[in-house]
């Protein structure tokens, strides 16, 4: 274990820590990783032309590149060499002038391993943080270029090896939260092109296969030209959509777990293969069943609460389609299965100033649960 002084911070139920590490500790604990696209041709395209590199460089790129891993599960963009060169120059200037700190701002670091926080008796949020002393236990969420530039200089003198780097550390975030935080920081406040992450397949963003599939399904609903939800979903916190991806993804993850638990291996494999087709046809069928509400401005059918309820009903809809001898993945089969919704609930159920507003008084969660119950009752009837 490595023990460092730390400050425990709590924001909206999330705990994280503020601490600092020496450059030597960064060397031992941090794993540097960038997104790898796979395929030799793509790899050649991602490697800058060596002839365009500065002829006089202060960075030993051959050594530095050996320190950087490449993975399809990573989310960091490829290293910008010019940025590393500029940071190295700046660090040297700071050392020579002695008037400015080299890294005054905190880098953000995550870990899949939990830390142990030992508070000081008189100050509950001040204490010591114990971190497993394992190579690569820490990953950089924000500040990778700063740390790589520091790594490039650690052999240039003892002054660089002793630099203290302020850091913010998270050890409770799951893969989805890490990706969303990364996009929030980079896509909205730097020049990182949001398409770098938004357009990636879920398997490259999430280690968990259910979260990966949920991302792919929602992205398909938001991008497919035939989708009634095209452009309406905010993917990874970015875009003009009015509905956030996160709660919809959570519903799909829960759905996958239910199907696997109740249907077994064969049923979950079948659903995984046809998930995008099912949801695209499902949304098309809903839009057709409630055509006035879907096209009208005074309805709340395309809100997060309504869509969550529809997503939650997916297993019931598929079972109903099988009962009436229809293909549960086919548009016509789904359309026939949900026909009772149109006759028993109708478009007026989603009028914003009507029944929807009255039931919204119970809160968003209540609205989701109430609508789910009404949809289920109508389907069974």
Instruction: Tell me the mean pLDDT in the region 23-45.
Output: 64
User: 315 and 236: one domain?
Assistant: yes
Same domain flag for 90 and 43 = yes
What integer pLDDT is reported at residue 47 of this predicted model? 43
Clarify whether residues 71 and 153 are in a common domain: yes
Helix axes 364-380, 304-312, angle to 10 degrees: 40
pLDDT for res 197: 55
Burial class, 219, CB count within 10 angstroms (exposed 0-12 / middle 13-18 / buried 19+): buried
299: β partners: 351
Residue 178 lies in a domain: no
Structure-token pair, residue 4: 């460092």
Residue 7 and residue 149 share a domain? yes
User: Does 344 or 123 have the greater pLDDT score?
Assistant: 344
Is 181 inside a domain boundary?
A: no
pLDDT digits (tens, 9 = 90+) for 211-225: 888 888 998 999 899
Looking up tokens 């490449």 gives 70
Q: pLDDT over 70 for what percent of the chain?
A: 80
Our count of domains for the chain comes to 2
Query: What whole-number distance in Å separates Cα of residue 143 and Cα of residue 166?
Result: 11
* pLDDT value of position 204: 59
Q: Are residues 134 and 44 in the same domain?
A: yes
Query: Are residues 248 and 367 both part of a single domain?
Result: yes
- Give the pLDDT band (50/70/90) at residue 202: low
Mean pLDDT of the residues in the chain? 81
Q: Whole-structure pTM over 0.75, yes or no?
A: no
pLDDT band at 34 (very low <50, low <70, confident <90, very high): confident
50 within some domain:
yes
Work out the angle at residue 82's Cα, subtended by the Cα atoms of residues 178 and 47, and round it to the nearest 5 degrees. Answer: 75
Report yes or no on 141 lying in a domain. yes
Lowest-confidence range among 51-55, 135-139, 172-176, 267-271?
A: 51-55
Give residue 374's pLDDT. Answer: 92
Same domain flag for 222 and 158: no
pLDDT in tens, 346-374: 999 999 888 787 776 655 556 889 999 99
What is the average pLDDT across 215-238?
A: 87
Same structural domain, 220 and 102: no
Q: Within this chain, do residues 327 and 262 fall inside the same structural domain, yes or no? A: yes
Question: What is the residue range of 109's domain?
Answer: 2-173
Does residue 273 sit within a domain? yes
Task: Looking at the structure, tell me whether residues 261 and 142 fall in a common domain.
Answer: no
Q: Which residue has the higher pLDDT, 338 or 94?
A: 338
Does 220 reside within a domain? yes
Residue 186 domain-assigned (yes or no)? no
**How many angstroms separate the CA atoms of 214 and 315, rounded?**
15
Is the domain of 125 the same as that of 217?
Answer: no
């Amino acid at each position: 274990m490595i023990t460092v002084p730390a400050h425990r911070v709590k924001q909206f139920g999330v705990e994280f820590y503020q601490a600092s590490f020496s450059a030597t500790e960064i060397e031992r604990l941090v794993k540097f990783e960038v997104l790898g696209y796979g395929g030799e041709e793509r790899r050649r395209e991602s490697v800058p032309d060596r002839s365009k590199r500065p002829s006089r460089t202060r960075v030993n790129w051959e050594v530095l590149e050996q320190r950087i891993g490449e993975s399809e599960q990573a989310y960091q963009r490829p290293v910008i060499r010019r940025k590393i060169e500029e940071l190295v120059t700046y660090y040297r200037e700071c050392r020579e002038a002695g008037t400015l700190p080299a890294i005054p701002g905190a880098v953000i670091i995550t870990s899949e391993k939990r830390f142990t926080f030992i508070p000081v008796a008189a100050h509950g949020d001040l204490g010591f943080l114990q971190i497993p002393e394992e190579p690569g236990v820490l990953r950089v969420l924000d500040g990778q270029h700063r740390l790589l530039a520091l790594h490039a200089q650690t052999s240039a003198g003892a002054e660089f090896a002793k630099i203290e780097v302020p850091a913010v550390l998270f050890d409770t975030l799951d893969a989805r939260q890490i990706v969303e935080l990364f996009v929030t920081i980079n896509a909205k406040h730097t020049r990182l092109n949001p398409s770098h992450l938004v357009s990636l397949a879920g398997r490259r963003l999430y280690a968990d296969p259910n979260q990966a599939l949920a991302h792919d399904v929602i992205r398909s609903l938001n991008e497919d030209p035939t989708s009634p939800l095209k452009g309406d979903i905010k993917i990874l916190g970015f875009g003009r959509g009015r509905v956030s991806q996160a709660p919809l993804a959570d519903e799909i993850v829960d759905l996958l777990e239910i199907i696997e638990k109740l249907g077994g291996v064969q049923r979950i494999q079948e659903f995984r293969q046809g998930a995008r087709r099912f949801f695209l046809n499902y949304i098309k069928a809903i839009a057709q069943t409630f055509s006035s509400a879907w096209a009208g401005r005074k309805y709340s059918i395309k809100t997060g609460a309504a869509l969550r309820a529809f997503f939650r009903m997916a297993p019931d809809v598929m079972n109903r389609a099988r009962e009436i001898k229809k293909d549960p993945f086919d548009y016509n089969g789904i359309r026939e299965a949900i026909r009772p919704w149109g006759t028993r609930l109708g478009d007026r159920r989603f009028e914003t100033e009507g029944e929807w507003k009255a039931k919204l008084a119970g809160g968003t969660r209540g609205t989701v649960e109430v609508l789910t119950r009404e949809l289920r009752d109508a389907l069974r009837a």
